[in-house]
Amino acid sequence: MTRLRRERCSLLIVDLQKRLMDIVVRRDSTIGNILRLLEATRILEVPILATDQNRKVFGSTLDAIRERLPSPPSDKLIFSAFAHEPIHAALERSGRRQLLVTGIMTNVCVLQTTLDALEDGFAVHVVADAVTAADENDHQVGLDRLRQAGAIITNTETTIYELLERAGTDEFRACLPLLRR
């Protein structure tokens, strides 16, 4: 299951909270890419889930993201969003076995979430330009480890086109502004 299919996939946004976003590299481009993915998956009717890491300490998901979510982020204390029971249960109920992962930190929560999902048999696509970490080295180490573990490393544009599959549809026209830079 290496090819993304909208009917098989869910989008997971991991811990995109202000206090964490204040300490990462590529902050603005990461947020912009996650917003593009959020809109595309909404148009394509892909389920969207989100988490906050210890909301009492790090605050809530960024307003620009939170207001576009179909349901509030789930607050967790463990690093792996996949091992967090409400998220795991929602993914199992959906029957979808592909997971599209975005968020922070590439080398901590994104990594542990992906490792757990892979271990459970999910095909995981990590969107490299929609994940970030405290510095470029941490980000790169996280991506390298994810690739070695079997995750598919992709980017925002490739992901949207892959989910669309074809041009000339109403969905393609609705997503086209998200693909123009």
Nearest to 104 by CA among 7, 19, 45, 3: 19
Q: How far apart are CA 65 and CA 83, in angstroms?
A: 22
15 occurs within a structural domain: yes
Q: How many domains does the chain have?
A: 1
41 occurs within a structural domain: yes
For residue 132, the surrounding DSSP H or E stretch is strand 123-132
135 occurs within a structural domain: yes
92-119 pLDDT, tens digit each? 999 999 999 999 999 999 999 999 999 9
The overall longest dimension of the chain from CA atoms, in Å, is: 46
Q: How far apart are CA 31 and CA 17, in angstroms?
A: 11
Q: Report the SS3 class of residue 37.
A: helix
Full domain range(s) for residue 61: 9-179
Q: Report the SS3 class of residue 48.
A: strand
Tens digit of each residue's pLDDT, the chain (181 residues): 689 999 999 999 999 999 999 999 999 999 999 999 999 999 999 999 999 999 999 999 999 999 999 999 999 999 999 999 999 999 999 999 999 999 999 999 999 999 999 999 999 999 999 999 999 999 999 999 999 999 999 999 999 999 999 999 999 999 999 997 6
Write the CATH number for 37.
Answer: 3.40.50.850
122-142 pLDDT, tens digit each? 999 999 999 999 999 999 999
Q: How far apart are CA 23 and CA 135, in angstroms?
A: 9
pTM: 0.96
2 occurs within a structural domain: no
pLDDT at 1: 63
